[in-house]
Amino acid sequence: MENFKKVNPFTLDIIKDSLYAIGEEMFISVARSSKSPVIYEVLDFASGLTDAKGRLLTQGNGATGFIGMLNSMVKEVIDKFVKTGNINEGDIIIINDPYSGGGSHLSDVGLVMPIYYKGNIVAFSANKAHWTEVGGKDPGSWTVDSTEIYQEGLQFPCVKICNKGVMNEALIDVIKANVRFPDLSIGDMWAQIAGMRTGEKRVIELCEKFGKETVLLAIEKLLKNSEELSRKQIMALPDGEYEAEDWIDDDGVGNGPFKVKVKVTIKGDEFTADFRGSQMQVPGPINVSFAGLLSAVRIIFLAATNPSQDVNDGVFSPLKIIVDDASIFSAERPAAVSTYWETMLYGVDLIWKALAPILPDKLTAGHLLSVCGFVFAGIHPDTKESYIAVGPSLGGWGAGKGKDGENAQFCIGDGETFNIPVEVLETRYGFFVEEYKLRADGAGAGEYRGGSGVVRTYRMLNDGNYFTGTFGRFKYLPWGMSGGHEGSRNEFEILKADGSVDGPFGKYARYPINKGDAVKMSTATGGGYGNPFDRHEEKVAMDVKNEFVSIKQANDDYGVIIDPITLNVKDITAARKKHCENKE
């Protein structure tokens, strides 16, 4: 603290805010220069800075699932290159190792660049983006039936793609030869480099303006202050042990369900999440590595404390995670991981479920949970060129204390991302978006009802297309809270041109879809909050008028009898009357 006192506190705050601004500028740079809709439309990437020790300083991200992954990549670079003296100004390292270099899947490709000032490393610029293609046995690289990492695409085990400012053209040629859409993948790589160069430029400007020592002091102050604030926020939570368990549907290759569990211990200013006793790693590709689990815990920790704060390593210093080796939450090579998010998000949801009863003002009932990711691949009917469409799905969030659930939002792991607009889908990929609407199925009944999912139907205009989908929570539904009912499931069906229907499915790899066939994707309605009999009768009538609830559901779930002509309240059922009498 003595050193901090030597520097004007206003200067330290200006530097701190400048670091946050740099993270955002890096993010915008990647979004505006990328080639793939999954990056520039969906924003499935993250950019940020770490200090010279690999501690996260700032991060601009669309997908919250990347919140623990950038510094994991940087620390791998430090161990392999910095500690051995094999790092230079102008180097760029490429890494997508799920087990030690970022924690997701091979499609999320990371780049790391040291930032030098007057001959010394002062920071690292890093980003991680979902490439449309990294090769592997399936178009889009991720799939639901891989059984080892070698089937899932190119692995970049922390290697230099640029050495002293000179690009490794041999490695770039290898990438081009192994991916189905090299223009997209290489174009996105250059967008990532542009983002890192932006970070480098701004950090050097800070050092020039305020001096390197002052900038480094500001970094230490930022991390220290963030840790102190985080510990105070933990101390505001009630001490205790809180447990939850759930089941993951399956692994995509015929195994499951899988039991997962957590015990959260809050004691003083410490927060511990213990996942021991959960399923060990499985043959299918739903395994997540420890770095991915770390991100999961960070996501829900922010939600339970202060979701509006800027993230850095100081914020997460009080967190402790315990997990069995080689479990479904701490996968080890060569476990398949291409749909890692199906399990990673259970890491979020288990803590959410455990803490929701003690934090009803912050945490709602269960939501759709799954990314509900899809891949369409085939030949564009107009251009006759190959296409690949990759994206997540919107769905319903759970109701909470005093509020209905949100309709049509991405799952918590996708965060501030977006869908690909209909116009882009139809133009770039050549299929027809026949239907896009709220899935008002009446599930998630409660005093406050769960938010609606969505229904999308994409119809093919030619032959030779394939569909892969992974829609978790197909068997085990979003949980209700305080007497609220469970939500509905995520699912998809194949509507054949001859009128037959195949499905519904939760997972399927490479389903052939031809001219006139359609894929109908339906996502979950969130869980309800509170006893449905406590929902005001007029609210139930309005739900019926807005088609969120049917007349039958109003009667069966809410005990409200609706006039079928006027859609106004006609009476209440005997069960609801009894409930009201007992409350009095």
Interatomic CA distance for residues 125 and 93, integer angstroms: 11
Interatomic CA distance for residues 578 and 559, integer angstroms: 10
Whether 396 contacts 412, CB under 8 Å: no
- Taking only the tens place, the pLDDT of each residue in 464-509 is 999 999 999 999 999 999 999 999 999 999 999 999 999 999 999 9
What pLDDT score was predicted for residue 9? Answer: 83
Whether 528 contacts 448, CB under 8 Å: yes
Whether 296 contacts 248, CB under 8 Å: no
The kind and range of the H/E element at 240 are: strand 240-248
Interatomic CA distance for residues 105 and 56, integer angstroms: 21
Reduce the DSSP state of residue 133 to 3 states and report it. coil
Amino acid code (one letter) for 321: I
Interatomic CA distance for residues 571 and 334, integer angstroms: 61
Reported residue count of the chain is 584
Orientation angle between helical segments 9-33 and 182-210, nearest 10 degrees: 160
The kind and range of the H/E element at 161 are: strand 159-163
What pLDDT score was predicted for residue 4? Answer: 57
Which two tokens mark 575? 């069960």
The model's pTM is: 0.93
Helix (H), strand (E), coil (C) string for 413-454: CCCCCCCCCHHHHHHHHCCEEEEEEEECCCCCCCCECCCCEE
Q: Which residues are within 8 A (CB) of 45 and not within 5 positions of it... i.e. 6 or more apart?
A: 27, 30, 31, 34, 39, 61, 62, 63, 66, 127, 128, 129, 130, 192
CA 387-104-250 angle, 5° bins: 85
Reduce the DSSP state of residue 349 to 3 states and report it. helix
Whether 111 contacts 93, CB under 8 Å: yes
Whether 572 contacts 535, CB under 8 Å: no
DSSP 8-state secondary structure symbol assigned to residue 66: G
As to burial, measured by CB atoms within 10 angstroms (0-12 exposed, 13-18 middle, 19+ buried), residue 282 is buried
Please give the chain's pLDDT, 584 residues, in tens: 556 566 788 888 899 899 999 999 999 999 999 998 888 888 889 999 999 999 999 887 777 888 878 989 999 999 999 999 999 999 999 999 999 877 799 999 999 999 999 999 999 999 999 998 999 999 889 999 999 999 999 999 999 999 999 999 999 999 999 999 999 999 999 999 999 999 999 999 999 999 999 999 999 999 999 999 999 999 999 999 999 999 999 999 999 999 999 999 999 999 999 999 999 999 999 999 999 999 999 999 999 998 888 889 999 999 999 999 999 999 999 999 999 999 999 999 999 999 999 999 999 999 999 999 999 999 999 999 999 888 899 999 999 999 999 999 999 988 777 888 888 889 888 899 999 999 989 999 999 999 999 999 999 999 999 999 999 999 999 999 999 999 999 999 999 999 999 999 999 999 999 999 999 999 999 999 999 999 999 999 999 999 999 999 999 999 999 999 999 999 999 999 999 888 77
Tokens 């006609």 belong to: 570
Can you say how many angstroms the Cα of residue 156 is from the centroid of all Cα atoms in its chain? 22
How is 267-336 classified by DSSP, letter by letter?
ETTEEEEE-TTSPBP-SSTT---HHHHHHHHHHHHHHHS-TTSPP-TTTTTTEEEE--TTBTTS--TT--
Helix (H), strand (E), coil (C) string for 188-216: HHHHHHHHHHHHHHHHHHHHHHHCHHHHH
Interatomic CA distance for residues 331 and 226, integer angstroms: 30
Whether 417 contacts 411, CB under 8 Å: no
The 10 Å Cβ neighbour count of residue 502 is 13
As to burial, measured by CB atoms within 10 angstroms (0-12 exposed, 13-18 middle, 19+ buried), residue 361 is exposed
Interatomic CA distance for residues 310 and 513, integer angstroms: 44
What pLDDT score was predicted for residue 5? Answer: 61
Buried b / exposed e across 451-470, counting CB within 10 Å, b at 16+? bbbbbbbbbbbbeebbbbbb
Q: Which residues are within 8 A (CB) of 449 and not within 5 positions of it... i.e. 6 or more apart?
A: 399, 404, 405, 528, 532, 535, 543, 548, 549
Which two tokens mark 258? 């899988």
Whether 438 contacts 463, CB under 8 Å: no
Tokens 């803590």 belong to: 351
Q: Strands 270-274, 319-322: parallel, antiparallel or unpaired by DSSP? A: parallel
What pLDDT score was predicted for residue 2? Answer: 52
Alpha helices by DSSP H, 102-252? 169-178, 182-210, 212-235
Tokens 């991680």 belong to: 128
The 10 Å Cβ neighbour count of residue 133 is 24
Which two tokens mark 370? 């799954």
Phi and psi angles of residue 266, each rounded to the nearest 5 degrees, phi first: -110, 120
